[in-house]
Structure formats: C-alpha cells, structure tokens
Amino acid sequence: MKKARTWVLLALLALGVVAAAVILSGATAADSAYLPGLLQTDGFPKGCVDCHKVDGKNDYRITKYLPKDHPDVGKLATIPNDCASCHKKGGAGPELPAVMHLSHYQNTEKNGFVLYYKGACLNCHTVDVKTGRVSVKSGAKNW
C-alpha cells in the first residue's frame, strides 16, 4: 500500500511540474491536463449517475446499458458501490473494475466517454492529493 501511495504522489508531483511548465510556457487552457476536481470544476461529483441520466430526449441511465439477462437492479440504492455486491472477485458477475474499464475504453474512436468526456479517470474516480488515496465516486440511483 505504501509503495502504491508513493507512486500516486510521484505521479501527482509530475502532473504539477507539467502544469507549471504549461503555465510558464504561455499555453492555453486547451493545452493543459484535464483533471476534473483538481484542475477544473468537477462536473460529475456523483460519478456514474451524473453522466448516466436522462438528458433531453436521450436516456443514458445505466439500466439502458445492462444486458437483457442481467439480474434485476431495482433494489440497488447507490451506484456503483452497490453493483460491487455481485461484481466482485468470486461474485455472480465479472469484477466491476474490469466491466467499467472495458466499457469506457473499448472502441475509442467511437466511444462517447473518450470522445465527449476526454476519457478522464477523474470523471469516475477521486484522488486525495494529501494521502494519494484513490476512490470511486458514487451516488444515489436515478431509475
């Protein structure tokens, strides 16, 4: 755990150096790193449910993406935390990190998460810059 924390802190330090270099070089905001919650306002503080929602005439809620044979998710309350009750090592479904990362990064040339949300890890995760702890954002279900 200590080794992982050290690597996260070193990565954040490197990002700080890069950010300083960008600022000193006169680069524009478009040239800087996209790190919502650190360098930009976090538009998705509840993670999944902030993106996967009804938007105008489009329904992007998570229930629209589940396979037809997926068990009922009506009793879940907090997403994605409650999904991990089945999507865990040795659970009824594949482990949640594998499911989420595959779905958000496959077919990058057509993938909405990559194209419209810059594939930014911090749309779904938070990082505590003091401790290096990374966690998954979660929020109340929206269906």
Question: For the segment 13-55, what is each residue's pLDDT rounded down to a tens digit?
Answer: 555 544 554 455 555 656 678 899 999 999 999 999 999 999 9
pLDDT at res. 32: 78
Close Cβ partners of 107 (under 8 Å, ≥ 6 residues apart): none
Close Cβ partners of 93 (under 8 Å, ≥ 6 residues apart): 86, 87, 99
More confident residue, 92 or 4: 92
More confident residue, 25 or 57: 57
Q: What is the amino acid identity at position 106?
A: Q
- The string over 91-118, giving b where at least 16 C-beta atoms fall within 10 Å of a residue's C-beta and e elsewhere, is eebeebeeebeeebeeeeeeeebbeebe
pLDDT at res. 127: 95
- Whole-number Å distance between alpha carbons of 50 and 44: 5
Mean pLDDT on 54-71: 95
φ and ψ of 51, to 5 deg: -95, -45
Q: Can you give the pTM of this predicted structure?
A: 0.74
pLDDT at res. 54: 97
Instruction: Name which of 99, 77, 74, 95 is nearest 86 in CA terms.
Output: 95
pLDDT at res. 19: 52
Question: For the segment 88-138, what is each residue's pLDDT rounded down to a tens digit?
Answer: 999 999 999 999 999 999 999 999 999 999 999 999 999 999 999 999 999
